[in-house]
Amino acid sequence: MSSYILKLENVSFAYKAENPVFTNINAEISENELIVIQGESGLGKSTFLKLFNRFCELDEGRILLNDRELKEYQIDRLRGQIIYLPQLPFMIDGTIEENLSFAFDFQAHKEKTYNSPKAEEWMSYFQLNTKLNENALKLSTGQKQRIALIRALLLEPGVLLLDEPCSSLDRKNRELIEKKIESLTSESKVTVLMATHSEVTFGHSNYRKFTIKGKKLQGEEPQEAGMA
């Protein structure tokens, strides 16, 4: 077994053939690694994340998950292991608890069990002063982002793809989120890829930064916390 959990080999992708988003990308991502993906708006940070659970399909090359090509996995099984959290959180017209639990009815997560006490614990941690029976659509965008993150955490992914998870949060709540993201890789053994246009404030763990520039992915050596 290789030391990486994800490997990109000569990956290219385009929405239109004449204007590729990425060309010939190669990268290896280790298990339990924290990857920060940065770059200017519109260069493909979100698209890059969506390649890993096949919301976007490759034009050339391949991506491996645990030494197997993504296309070899049943799509439900793949998305049960790799969860994508978009910048704009999806909410149904219902209570907070209904919004936290509905994903467990999906085929990708049918073998998982919703944990209501754990949900309340996460809500307290993220300082959401709301009740599970409140209407989720009345929440602010920042509150919805935290609810969506809790939903993803309850699903216990092996790989978590975070698309601007702190974009609507103030500094205090952003630091709470980033602290939890750090602990996911060290304590919960989750591999995290986080796209952001902002500088991060990770306090303890090392992480690796990828920058999207010129249709390429430029990788760096692991960053020591506080040096980004």
Please enumerate in sequence order all residues whose Cβ is within 8 A of that of 20, keeping only pairs 6 or more positions apart, or say none. Answer: 12, 13, 14, 59, 215
Is the pLDDT score of 227 beyond 50?
A: no
Higher pLDDT, 178 or 147: 147
Q: In the chain, where are the structural domains located? A: 30-58+77-219
Domain 30-58+77-219 has CATH 3.40.220.10: no
pLDDT tens per residue, range 45-90: 999 999 999 999 999 999 999 999 999 999 999 999 999 999 888 9
Long-range CB pairs of 59-62, under 8 A, 24+ apart, other chains included: 59/12, 59/13, 59/14, 59/20, 60/10, 60/11, 60/12, 61/8, 61/9, 61/10, 61/11, 61/12, 61/24, 61/25, 62/8, 62/9, 62/10, 62/11
Instruction: Retrieve residue 106's tokens.
Output: 């999906």
Phi, psi at residue 15, to the nearest 5°?
-75, -35
Compute the distance between CA of residue 28 and CA of residue 168 in angstroms, rounded to an integer: 30
Q: Record the pTM.
A: 0.90
What is the average per-residue pLDDT within 141-169?
Answer: 92
What was the pLDDT predicted at 228?
Answer: 43
